[in-house]
Structure 1
């Protein structure tokens, strides 16, 4: 009779032996430029979905494996292709839903990449390439963990498994809520693992227990009916750039902390984290000071932030002696856990309208909202996940907050209120997700695969009613 210990040893061996093939498959996925943003070719996103579906079918574990789309609510559009696979639980075992996304961010300035963004490159113990960490590594961690479980215990295990590999997370998950509604029966689970976050460092695993929310919008500032000569009218006529600069400056105080009335903060303990670590992980030069007040992690995890992420204005090369009649900016705000994103947006819009200089006309469009998330850490799934992470990495896991947002988790909570949600990931602080030279730390990936394989093995021995 197979003992629990021998099963776990077999999982360990299978996970370790499967890493080379998992990395090869990850490299093949990285080569597909699956950017789901508007204006980019949609064919690579479809090709990426088909490649992921082939990997899932190759597991030989699922009763159904399909590529599906859902409507974007309020439009005539269809969302990007997602991979959905299902395997029913048996003999009272729980069902686990494994989530990741196969779409990636645009590459930005290719001149800043040390190797081609869609050519996976090994360098210094890391795999470089767009999506190598965020989040094709999440896809492959799920696939590799399931391969290890199958090799160790066979394909006749009792654990129920559903896979949902989304194709538009980086582009805002516009059809996500509709996809959940359309496929609720197939996706319903006792435990949901979202592999789209990070770890404390390359050697220490983490469970993400809080995420800031977000709101993003475009603001147009108009002061003139048409462009005018800056020499003839400058000094008497306010141009839109001047008004925009003055208006944006009111969003922060002298310390760089957000100065918008109505935005809230969360009070919670944070672990030690030095300014030196911040400088190293964020790339903050020695002569540039951090902003905000309080512990560094409280500023990142528990307080709001506001960032201007884009601006439409005359470029340097096209500069002329002209008063700009209107300027548009994109503003991205992170919302502290405990505040609704729509309430935060309302506070920011009210602040901007109240502080518009010289009677500048403001218009707000393209609003997007994602609510914050706090994990209930009292459930059995969290305890089991911590145990698996400790065994997989060889050190205790850390509960972390994340300054970024995963807005669709609020949709998961709403659609599946009884599910326990675990937010994990394969990234470390130097992964540079969304940035040039994105990379995956190979040892972190190995440990993440092993940890998830051990988690699956533990759940395969658990009654869903326990």
Structure 2
């Protein structure tokens, strides 16, 4: 059995070729949204299969009905050893140039010690972590491994239904999800909580057709004004979500400073933050609400008319412990009940994603905490995430007793996932890969 230092040296020696592979993957615009071409998504799946096969991993494509294929590998472990499922995804968000990119989004660009490009962090860095981990064992890890790389995490996932229909394929003792990250480069954390997500579309109607605002304004009801009044009731003056019966707690783990929040979110000078309580609580253990879109005339196209109809998509992030079904009922009920003046209202449910919580008392969780401390040389914090990964709920149903370990290279400070100038620090990939190698070795030792 190799020593920690020998594993560290082995992972370090692998990094140049792992980073080259990451750059090649970034160059593939694998956006799985329905309006985007399918060929790059399939190209990326094939690229991932070939990359793992080069290191002796029996990777292949697993067809997912009605969706893009998953990249799948199953490596049996020695008799009596646990099975570890390694999860990541190979699809990415769109990257329109008008977002404000300083580099070509689908050309990996090295700058200031980081690699820029769409997917460099979310989540092709997770693929790189798993690739380096299995390469360090030359494709023969000391425990059983199931590799699952999803092709539709950023859009409507068909893998969720596949897991529900075939839970036996995804059973494991430990689930390692490589789609998270530290708050700051070099300071390791484990994510224990992910907020859930519910979305609804509300449409208000007041008139049969648009009418002249001069002739009828002041008496005839304008649907857009009615919608604005409705949306203004979603929060109080502090910006706290006012949807009733939604659980909220104070975060007890690692803190998230106001300075870090202002920097990471790009809050403009002089603009107040919203919500109350600690920043970590507002981000991870309390609900938040936002308006994701409004259908109304643009400023350039606006005429002197009252609008007969207006609609908006309203989204609420819900904390762990909150049922997404009950949250959706509270949201849709609120939107209906707060409309006054006889305005016609139609509320349509759009999407429900459950929140997620992982306890800290599991043996694998403790072993990963030790592995991260060894890899980074720093104590390990506990954080949450405002985002959601709906598949985790199905994986937990497949293996209710499994420990979940949520890690990744997507640091909150600089990665800018889903936005312009997404990037990753290669040292995070190296340290996370080393930690994962040490975890598998520790699990093999019982």
- Report TM bin, short chain: over 0.9
Distance 2:398 2:184 in 1: 32
- How far apart are residue 449 of structure 1 and its match? 1.7
- How far apart are residue 403 of structure 1 and its match? 1.5
The counterpart of 2:427, out of the listed 443, 452, 456, is 443
Alignment pair present for 1:454 and 2:442: no
Alignment pair present for 1:335 and 2:318: yes
Deviation per residue, 1:364-384 (Å, 9 max, x gap): 235211111111211110111
Instruction: State how many pairs are aligned.
Output: 445
Alignment pair present for 1:8 and 2:7: no
Alignment pair present for 1:70 and 2:58: no
1:112-261 to structure 2, matched below 5 A, reads: 112-150=100-138, 155-173=139-157, 175-261=158-244
Distance 1:156 1:291 in 2: 50
Distance 1:282 1:449 in 2: 28
- How far apart are residue 396 of structure 1 and its match? 1.3
Distance 2:196 2:431 in 1: 29
- 2:290 matched to which residue of 1? 307
Q: Cα gap change, 1:200/1:455 in structure 2, threshold over 3 Å: closer, same or farther?
A: same
Instruction: Give the match's secondary structure for 2:369.
Output: helix
Moved more, 261-270 or 35-44: 261-270
- 1:354 matched to which residue of 2? 337
- 2:24 matched to which residue of 1? 28
Alignment pair present for 1:381 and 2:375: no
- 2:34 matched to which residue of 1? 38
- How far apart are residue 267 of structure 1 and its match? 4.0
- 1:363 matched to which residue of 2? 346
Distance 1:124 1:387 in 2: 30
- 2:56 matched to which residue of 1? 60
- How far apart are residue 223 of structure 1 and its match? 1.6
The counterpart of 2:269, out of the listed 266, 271, 286, is 286
Decide whether the 8 Å contact of 1:94 with 1:189 is kept in 2.
yes
- How far apart are residue 149 of structure 1 and its match? 2.4
Decide whether the 8 Å contact of 1:11 with 1:149 is kept in 2.
no
Decide whether the 8 Å contact of 1:132 with 1:438 is kept in 2.
yes
Decide whether the 8 Å contact of 1:81 with 1:166 is kept in 2.
yes
The counterpart of 2:402, out of the listed 414, 419, 439, is 419
Instruction: Give the match's secondary structure for 1:257.
Output: coil
- How far apart are residue 333 of structure 1 and its match? 0.9
Decide whether the 8 Å contact of 2:250 with 2:278 is kept in 1.
no
- 2:14 matched to which residue of 1? 18
The counterpart of 1:81, out of the listed 54, 62, 69, is 69
Deviation per residue, 1:178-217 (Å, 9 max, x gap): 2214543332211010111121311111111111111122
Instruction: Give the match's secondary structure for 2:341.
Output: helix
- How far apart are residue 357 of structure 1 and its match? 3.1
TM-score by length of 2: 0.96
- How far apart are residue 132 of structure 1 and its match? 0.5
Distance 1:172 1:333 in 2: 18
Decide whether the 8 Å contact of 1:105 with 1:131 is kept in 2.
yes
- How far apart are residue 454 of structure 1 and its match? 1.8
Instruction: Give the match's secondary structure for 1:328.
Output: strand
Distance 2:44 2:32 in 1: 11
TM-score by length of 1: 0.92
Instruction: Give the match's secondary structure for 1:100.
Output: strand
Instruction: Give the match's secondary structure for 1:384.
Output: helix
Distance 2:140 2:18 in 1: 22
Instruction: For structure 1, list consecutive stretches of 5 or more residues without a partner in the other structure.
Output: 72-77
Instruction: For structure 2, list consecutive stretches of 5 or more residues without a partner in the other structure.
Output: none
